[in-house]
Amino acid sequence: MSPPTDQSLAKVPEVTIVFWITKILATTVGETAGDALSMSMNLGYLVGTTIFALIFIIAVGVQIAAKKFHPVVYWTTIIATTTLGTTLADFADRSLGIGYAGGTAILLALLLISLFTWYRTLGSVALGSVSSPKAEAFYWATIMFSQTLGTALGDWSADTAGLGYKGGALLFSAVLALIAIAHYRTRISRTILFWAAFIVTRPLGAVVGDFLDKPRSAGGLAMSRYSASAVLLMLIAASIVFWSQKAAQRSH
């Protein structure tokens, strides 16, 4: 068989165990880096959101302008969505007073609307369909909503629901395990399962990130947000450098 050409590949990575490991690392660094800017640097949620929104817009522009899948560009854009999602969710939940439950409900509705509109417009929300600028615009908008939702959901589970960071991490890890079982044991749509897993990794990363940098009195490890973010970024870089990440096959 001849090797795949650029025309037969999507602009997103194929889904492998390395993809999920990198995704969880990216969601975790989104929490620590987002909190580092808004809290540790005392810039506040609004300023932090503005800064990360500009980074997100630039990153998405570079990603869409690229002719093919580039791991560094893709994961930089993912990290941009996680950091923006962190400060945006905190701004809505805390500064605007919407609360974790209200923020979670609103963001879940926006996420479902984004997926529905994407499907109605292009006929598919599968990874393999992400190869045109319009599909990428829907893809990154959906991811942005999912990352922001995940932050609110992670904070809600750890704080309002009283699970704590360890309890929240165990809960979302268990949900991911169930999704993995469904992938191998059932005929549920792989696209539905992918987006379910993609969404759940965000609250998992949020509670793990909080566990790393929150004070011991609050149930965390009291790590520096800067050092935690640096270590996570190095692990993401290592996953890109040492493990081959290929583009997903394009679907028609």
Per-residue pLDDT tens listing for the chain (252 residues): 445 555 668 899 999 999 999 999 999 999 999 999 999 999 999 999 999 999 999 999 999 999 899 999 999 999 999 999 999 988 988 888 887 788 888 889 999 999 999 999 999 999 888 988 999 999 999 999 999 988 888 888 888 888 999 999 999 999 999 999 999 999 999 999 999 999 999 999 999 998 998 888 888 898 999 999 999 999 999 999 998 888 888 865
Name residue 247's beta-bridge partners.
Answer: 13
Tell me the HSE value of 244 on the side-chain side, using a 13 A CA sphere: 3
pLDDT for position 244: 82
Exposed e or buried b for every residue in 51-60, given b needs 16+ CB within 10 A? Answer: bbbebbeebb
Give the separation between CA 100 and CA 45, rounded to whole angstroms. Answer: 15
Residue 29 contacts residue 82 (beta carbons within 8 Å):
yes
The reported pTM is 0.91
Give the separation between CA 10 and CA 248, rounded to whole angstroms. Answer: 5
pLDDT for position 207: 92
Nearest to 114 by CA among 14, 199, 16, 9: 199
Cα 166 to chain centroid distance, Å, stands at 20
pLDDT for position 196: 94
pLDDT for position 127: 87
- Helical H segments across 91-189, by residue range: 99-122, 133-155, 164-185
pLDDT for position 252: 54
pLDDT for position 5: 55
Residue 10 contacts residue 131 (beta carbons within 8 Å):
yes
Give the separation between CA 227 and CA 113, rounded to whole angstroms. Answer: 37
Nearest-10 Cα torsion for 43, 46, 49, 51:
-60
pLDDT for position 219: 81
